[in-house]
Amino acid sequence: MSADRGHAARAQGSADNLYWFMMASAKAHPHKAAVIEIDANGNLGTVSYGQLDNQVRDFAAALEELGLDVGDRVVLEANASARAIAMLLACSWLGLTFIPASPETADRRILTIIDIADPALHLQAVEGHRAAIPAHVAAARFCEHGLTVDRPPVPRIRHRREVLPTDPAYIIFTSGSTGVPKGVVMSHRAVISFYRGVLHQDIVRADDRVAVTAPFQFDFSLAGIGAALGSGATVVLVPADRIGRPERFISFLHDTEATQVHGVPSIWRNVLKDEPDRLAVLDRLRLILFAGEEFPLHELRRLQCGLRKVDLMNAYGATETMACSVTVIPDPVPDDVTRLSIGFAHAGAEMMIVGDGGQPVEEPGEVGEIYIRSPAMFTGYWDDPAGTRAAQVPDPLNPRSGELVFRSGDLAYRGQHGELYFCGRADSQVQIRGNRVELGEVERRIADFPGVAEAAMLALPRPDGELGLNAFVVMQPGCSASGTDLRAFCAETLPGYMIPAHIHIMEELPLNDNGKVDRAALTAFTQSARHGA
């Protein structure tokens, strides 16, 4: 059975499917490079659009034989690669909801995700070694040569015949506030509306080579891959072992002739610290897009100095909307700027600020919570109707319309021209001795101390049960400061209840798989220190 004949009734010729959207260039430009990656021999390899499309069709034909139904979940465990992209597109073609996962993910977390999502199939790259998959879940391995089924799915009746734009495309599992992973369900229509909104800004062009640095299981990776392929550009997959090693990272970007780099700000930290002069070799680079965390301004300014002709763009958003805004950073960043703007929502979306009373906030400088009106809003949290209702709320402007908007939990205020400025999480507000404290405010004050490279704040229980403020600080090379110095600096502008009781000077801040500060590790660090471990 050919892929075309076998899927005619179930794969619609609509752009509102990840496959059709990303592979639109395959017919027009089959020989153009779609993916550049390190091959099995450690050399740079190129996969054309035509080759990628053929791989998708082969995978789709193999998956079709397993008898899965539209809407069935498939755990897709792999590092970023051309074949992993082909597999997710094959799932999309058939209407299978893929759940990206990393081979480095602990067994316990994978089992928790499987327990929550109840997938029909666990897929992993052929070199994977995951053995702890429950017997009731089908298992298979894939490589560029095809699919090997280790345990077939339980036979089922197919109830669906069409793949619709509203069907779930994927589920991303993020950290949940209760400690249980939270599954964000995104439809084809939502994801593609985000792509279209961003591409309307002419961020990715057909002649671009977009270096993607985020791990495969995060939506930041999917955003870069989709924007590149949807524009007819080339995806450059940066291996994890290149990131954090300045010489290898810069050499890889140079050798692949990358024109864009997408990643969290911390991917540039070691370059700026150890090898800033190497930035000069990136003569093809025209744009750096960052997201996921605030870019320390002293590092941002150093990056601009090293890359004078490169535009920097700040992307803001949540997994529940993929992202919401992409804002060009002024070059150079003015000396008096202390906070970067997140600008305005991308085309087709809108951000508003809502106050404590549920009323829109329009006055510049007044802080409220960001609500997002967007067709890119997630469908819901998997098997969590209460969590979904808390995040998808009636439009405050027209509550009788039935329209829902996303309540982000992020705080912001408007500038003089209507642009937004992110200023922390609503749920990062804590009560210290009866006073409300925004941890981000204390964190930014410490970051302003001369010689501070990084700072992170946590409110942790003290022995008496009350919360105490803990600061974790990394100093720039050659600079030193004591906790007393930093506390005195905080006291210059902050009230006493906002001054950290404990300041920990560290060589580096621990990072999680997403490249963000690992606050759980910092909590464990303080507990170990308290008990003399």
Q: 425: which residues sit within 8 A by CB, 6+ positions away? A: 409, 410, 411, 440
pLDDT band per the 50, 70, 90 thresholds, residue 357 = confident
Which ranges constitute the DSSP H helices of 76-214?
82-94, 107-117, 188-199
pLDDT band per the 50, 70, 90 thresholds, residue 4 = very low
Best CA proximity match to 386, nearest among 117, 176, 169: 176
Lowest model confidence (mean pLDDT) among 36-45, 124-133, 138-147, 523-532: 523-532
Residue pLDDT, tens place only, 410-438: 999 999 999 999 988 887 777 787 676 88
pLDDT band per the 50, 70, 90 thresholds, residue 466 = confident
Here the tokens at position 133 are: 């998959």
Q: What pLDDT, on a 0 to 100 scale, did the predictor assign at position 314?
A: 97
Kindly report the pTM of this predicted structure: 0.86
The whole-angstrom separation of Cα 106 and Cα 172 is 16
Domains, the chain, ordered by start:
3-26+46-166 (3.40.50.12780), 238-424 (3.40.50.12780), 433-530 (3.30.300.30)
Q: Is the pLDDT of residue 458 over 80?
A: yes
Q: What pLDDT, on a 0 to 100 scale, did the predictor assign at position 177?
A: 55
CA angle 368, 262, 169 (to 5 degrees): 75
CB 373 within 8 A of CB 193: no
Give the pLDDT mean for 48-73.
97
Q: What pLDDT, on a 0 to 100 scale, did the predictor assign at position 7?
A: 44
CB 313 within 8 A of CB 328: yes
Q: What pLDDT, on a 0 to 100 scale, did the predictor assign at position 393?
A: 97
Here the tokens at position 160 are: 């669906």
Phi and psi (nearest 5°) for 309?
-105, 20
Instruction: Please give the residue that has the higher pLDDT: either 163 or 515.
Output: 163
The whole-angstrom separation of Cα 106 and Cα 519 is 18
- Which segments within 159-213 are labelled E, that is strand? 168-174, 182-187, 209-212
Give the pLDDT mean for 168-197.
88
Name the average pLDDT for the chain: 91
Residue position matching structure tokens 């720039």: 476
Q: What pLDDT, on a 0 to 100 scale, did the predictor assign at position 204?
A: 97
Best CA proximity match to 374, nearest among 392, 356, 357: 392
Instruction: Please give the residue that has the higher pLDDT: either 18 or 436.
Output: 18
Q: How many helices (H) and strands (E) would you count in the chain? A: 15, 26
Here the tokens at position 98 are: 């893929």
Q: What pLDDT, on a 0 to 100 scale, did the predictor assign at position 469?
A: 94
Do the bridges between strand 380-381 and strand 138-143 make them parallel or antiparallel, or are there none, so unpaired?
unpaired
- Other beta carbons within 10 angstroms of residue 257's beta carbon come to 15
Instruction: State the virtual CA torsion across 22, 23, 25, 29 in degrees, nearest 10.
Output: 140
Instruction: Please give the residue that has the higher pLDDT: either 156 or 430.
Output: 156
398-429 residues labelled b (16+ CB within 10 A) or e (exposed): eeeeeeebbbbbbbbbbeeeebbbbebebebe
Here the tokens at position 386 are: 């209460």
Lowest model confidence (mean pLDDT) among 10-24, 116-130, 489-503: 10-24
Quick one: the chain helix, strand, coil %, rounded to 5?
A: 30, 25, 40
- Burial class (CB within 10 angstroms; exposed 0-12, middle 13-18, buried 19+) of 172: buried
Give CA separation, 7 vs 58, 73, 75, 92, 149, in Å. Answer: 12, 18, 22, 12, 21
Angle, in degrees to the nearest 10, between helices 82-94 and 49-64: 50
Q: What pLDDT, on a 0 to 100 scale, did the predictor assign at position 519?
A: 85
Q: What pLDDT, on a 0 to 100 scale, did the predictor assign at position 531?
A: 60
Q: What pLDDT, on a 0 to 100 scale, did the predictor assign at position 10?
A: 59
Give the pLDDT mean for 217-231.
95
DSSP character for 511? B
- Burial class (CB within 10 angstroms; exposed 0-12, middle 13-18, buried 19+) of 482: exposed
Residue pLDDT, tens place only, 246-267: 999 999 999 999 999 999 898 9
The whole-angstrom separation of Cα 415 and Cα 421 is 7
Residue pLDDT, tens place only, 62-118: 999 999 999 999 999 999 999 999 999 999 999 999 999 999 888 888 999 999 999
The whole-angstrom separation of Cα 9 and Cα 107 is 38
CB 464 within 8 A of CB 427: no
pLDDT band per the 50, 70, 90 thresholds, residue 493 = confident
